[in-house]
Structure 1
Amino acid sequence: MNNSASKVFKMFICFLLLSILFGYHPPSTYSASEPILSEKKVEDYLKEHKKDIAGLATIVIDEDEVIYKMEGYADREKQILVNEDTVFEWGSVSKILIWISVLQLVEKGELDLETDIDNYLPNDFRSKTTFEDPITMRHLMNHTAGFDDSYTDLMIHRPTEKYILREVLEEAAITQRFPPGDIVAYSNYGSGLAAYIVEEVSGLDYREYIHKNIFEPLHMTKTSIGSEQEDNSWVKEARGEVQGYSNGLELIEPNFYSIPLYPIGSAMGTVTDLQKVLQALLAEDGVPLFNDTETIETIFEPTLYYPETTIPRVANGLFYLPSKSQHVYGHGGNSKAFSSSFYVDRNERIGVLVLTNMKDESTFTSGIPELIFGEYSHVESDVILENASQWSGMYEPARLPSTGFSKVYGLFLRGKTEQSGSHQLIMNDFHYSQLEPGIYITEDGPSLYSLDVYSKHPQMKKVLSNTYSDLLYVPYYKHLIEWGGMILAVLAILFSFIYVIVTSLRRIWTKKHLHLFLFGQHVLNLLMVMNVLWIGYQTVSMVSYAILKPYLTLNLIYIVLALINSGYLSVKVKNQCLGKREKRVWIMTIVFTVILCANLLYWEFYY
């Protein structure tokens, strides 16, 4: 080989080595095509379900890539499209701000998660506790403080007063139903109590604390936390440009309500503002929300597991989302006309948030996170499956009100579990397959609600645990007696209605004499029923409990009058000469009146 050829050959070898050195990229778990694949998935999913969209904004953060999609209308009637300035209500996603605030104070050494919260509350604070065991902030974050929930004063249409957090908490119709740490019962009150502790420890109004320690550091200028958006006039005006819709895309009117316990669900703002919270929780060091890297890491460490399993359930106020990676935590939210979801996988550095102006929406708020994070994959184990029949029965949410008339809703929220084959269960038309004893999964519903865990309880006998709350076993005899009482009450109402109509017509046609006390009792029964229906209508219309008090008092007056009159009729029916048919009517009137009174007393439809 001559010198010239040798130089060319050496140059070629050097070029080849340099190409190998700088052109080679070692394999990694993250591929540049993955965000593109995720974006394609989201696009295809939105296209597939386009007919179900009122208005939607979703953001997926995959490492450093951001997928941002907006679809539909902020106002379908006025054809106002969703854009970057569209304001969405967060609903219970607002609670993420509470838990961030709590951990900020823990980081500063001003709050301890395992200390009795009485140490942080004023001495004259009117507590709702009934058990001697101390409640800690950890209990509040895990929703294991034992409080029930309330369906009154949760949302108010056209409020007449401004809300002070302490007063709302003290006036709440809440009771502590379970000992701390015993049962998981999702609690708006408990979360609001945590927000009030943030106020007491920091010395700042909760709204002021959130603005100073979260909104300002993250430059969130288009988000409000106040019940009337009094803390951000731009948001208040922008909210007026958005309407809310049902799953059938029908306008919900009115669709704006104030939340007295505002920390638990009043936050609203643009999707790009909420994105900043998502990015901060995905950031390696957690700056600017936290100063210590350990804090951001501990947020996503499980603080509660499903009973008798190693499956996470809650991590510092954030709920576990069953997924392929098994490291996803976050929160969903619903208001009167909006639905949202916010989930984070710090291990894979992936975050998903979805905001919609639709009530009780799950196609997107649950479907998109499941699409991105993948379906739950259970770790296989060599165990003998159990006979599923032991879990058959009726169950109702532990968070149900235990006092007051709104506890009647429990009748309609119960679910029946039935055995299907030896190792499967059916509940609410969902089929559940057994993964191992006590652990069941379904593919029929959203991944958020796919996992059910059954366990034995010393007092409650059987407990069904799912994402947000435990469901408690209801004995069949109790279920049948309660429904039987309700059915008899309906028959009593029909009887009174028919009696009044028939007797009135007979009076017109025959001029036959009316027995005033008998006829009056049936009229009184119908007036009471109308009053109960009005209470139900007002409750659904989200009026305050104070407005309901006069109507509930009327029911108490009815009970007194009805029982006195029934006593009088009982005496009369013995002394009067009545035909068999008339006597039967009198006796039925007395019995049905007592049944109506018993229902009012049992379901506490009085004040």
Structure 2
Amino acid sequence: MWLELKAVPKSDKLKTIFIRSTSILACAICLVIGIILVFPPTYVIKGENDPSDKFAQMNALVEQIMTEDAIPGASVVVVKGDETVFAQGYGITSIENPQPVNENTVFILASVSKSFTALGVLLLRDKGILDINKPVVFYLPDFKLSDKNASSEITIRQLLTHTSGIPGALAEPQGYFNGLDAMDKMVSDLEGLSLNNPPGQVFEYSNLNYFLLGAVVEAVTGQKFEDYMAEAVFTPLSLNRTTLDLEQAEEWGRAYGHQPVFGKV
């Protein structure tokens, strides 16, 4: 199972975060997400202390759920402490071009990538490069919405916490921005956007908050967002099969997204 995240990088490539399922940090995140999204509480793995018995039951459980929900492919990883005790792929990466999923298949990370973006921003805060209590316009002077006064009050902290007042999915730009000026295009495209709420007053989940954080990162570091994230976040965490580069993910043999429509995948 996967979710799609639109990204608007300052590069000539479309960027999407992918992550190797066997990376320890990613495993911890994905295991929690998997428990919430994939395993309903009615499914219970029983057994004594024999791990092989539990893994056999888990295999059966995964296959059962994939059949019931028409899931083409999945990857399951179990981590105990710093040790990967189980890693296995199931099904195929794509219906159109079926390749077997294995423990090294990369999946799109979707909105879990916001946690990584937030980490990247807070690392800049810790280094004194960025003040999350300053308004966005301090770092992006060209940022303005339809209400210029209100938009000038939006802070980095409010972007991080989805309290900027910027509306959610229906307000997002349609399609991707490409090219070296992709971030600039994205920021300028928001000029006619109206706030749903005054900044700092109401929580409203919006991808646009994190698009803007990517632009802020580029502004304060002078680096492309993907280069900064690789240097500051992925490499220190040894996430060696993590990328914002779609072409790189293709080379690694990524899994594709599937969605049921009128009962068909």
- The TM-score bracket by the shorter chain reads 0.5 to 0.7
Q: Deviations over 1:112-139 (max 9, x none)?
A: 22232332223xx131262277222221
Give the deviation of 1:184 after TM superposition.
1.4
Counterparts of 1:190-229 in structure 2 under 5 Å?
190-226=209-245, 229=246
Q: Deviations over 1:245-268 (max 9, x none)?
A: 2237845xxxxxxxxxxxxxxxxx
Give the deviation of 1:177 after TM superposition.
2.2
Q: Which residue of 1 aligns with 2:249?
A: 235
Q: Deviations over 1:49-82 (max 9, x none)?
A: 1313211113333333433232111134554210
Q: Which residue of 2 aligns with 1:82?
A: 101
Q: SS state of the match for residue 81, structure 1?
A: coil
**Cα gap change, 1:250/1:237 in structure 2, threshold over 3 Å: closer, same or farther?**
farther
Q: Deviations over 1:505-541 (max 9, x none)?
A: xxxxxxxxxxxxxxxxxxxxxxxxxxxxxxxxxxxxx
Is the aligned partner of 1:126 residue 2:143?
Answer: yes
Give the deviation of 1:190 after TM superposition.
1.2
Q: Which residue of 2 aligns with 1:62?
A: 80
Contact 2:137/2:152, CA 8 A, preserved across alignment: no
Counterparts of 1:4-15 in structure 2 under 5 Å?
none
Give the deviation of 1:111 after TM superposition.
1.9
Q: Which residue of 1 aligns with 2:173?
A: 153
**Cα gap change, 1:118/1:87 in structure 2, threshold over 3 Å: closer, same or farther?**
same
**Cα gap change, 1:160/1:127 in structure 2, threshold over 3 Å: closer, same or farther?**
closer
Counterparts of 1:331-346 in structure 2 under 5 Å?
none
2:259 to 233, 239, 246: 246
**Cα gap change, 1:170/1:110 in structure 2, threshold over 3 Å: closer, same or farther?**
same
Q: Which residue of 2 aligns with 1:166?
A: 184
**Cα gap change, 1:85/1:61 in structure 2, threshold over 3 Å: closer, same or farther?**
closer
**Partners of 1:166 and 1:116 in 2: CA distance:** 18
TM-score w.r.t. the length of structure 1 is 0.31
Q: Which residue of 2 aligns with 1:103?
A: 122
Give the deviation of 1:44 after TM superposition.
4.6
Max Rg structure: 1
Percent of aligned pairs with the same amino acid: 25
Letter in 2 for 1:177: N
Q: Deviations over 1:456-493 (max 9, x none)?
A: xxxxxxxxxxxxxxxxxxxxxxxxxxxxxxxxxxxxxx
Q: Which residue of 2 aligns with 1:185?
A: 204
Is the aligned partner of 1:48 residue 2:79?
Answer: no
Contact 1:199/1:205, CA 8 A, preserved across alignment: yes
Give the deviation of 1:225 after TM superposition.
1.1
TM-score w.r.t. the length of structure 2 is 0.65
**Cα gap change, 1:236/1:146 in structure 2, threshold over 3 Å: closer, same or farther?**
same
Give the deviation of 1:176 after TM superposition.
1.8
Number of residue-to-residue matches in the alignment: 210
**Partners of 2:236 and 2:211 in 1: CA distance:** 23
Q: SS state of the match for residue 58, structure 1?
A: strand
**Cα gap change, 1:64/1:193 in structure 2, threshold over 3 Å: closer, same or farther?**
same
Give the deviation of 1:42 after TM superposition.
4.0
**Partners of 1:102 and 1:152 in 2: CA distance:** 22
Give the deviation of 1:179 after TM superposition.
0.6
Question: Counting strand residues as a fraction of each chain, which structure ranks higher?
Answer: 1
The gaps in structure 2 that reach 5 residues or longer are 1-47
**Cα gap change, 1:77/1:98 in structure 2, threshold over 3 Å: closer, same or farther?**
closer
**Partners of 1:41 and 1:194 in 2: CA distance:** 43
Contact 2:173/2:189, CA 8 A, preserved across alignment: no
Give the deviation of 1:88 after TM superposition.
2.1
Letter in 1 for 2:72: A
**Partners of 2:58 and 2:231 in 1: CA distance:** 35
**Partners of 2:146 and 2:173 in 1: CA distance:** 20
Question: Counting helix residues as a fraction of each chain, which structure ranks higher?
Answer: 1
**Partners of 1:189 and 1:181 in 2: CA distance:** 16
Higher RCO, 1 vs 2 (CA within 8 Å, ≥6 residues apart): 2
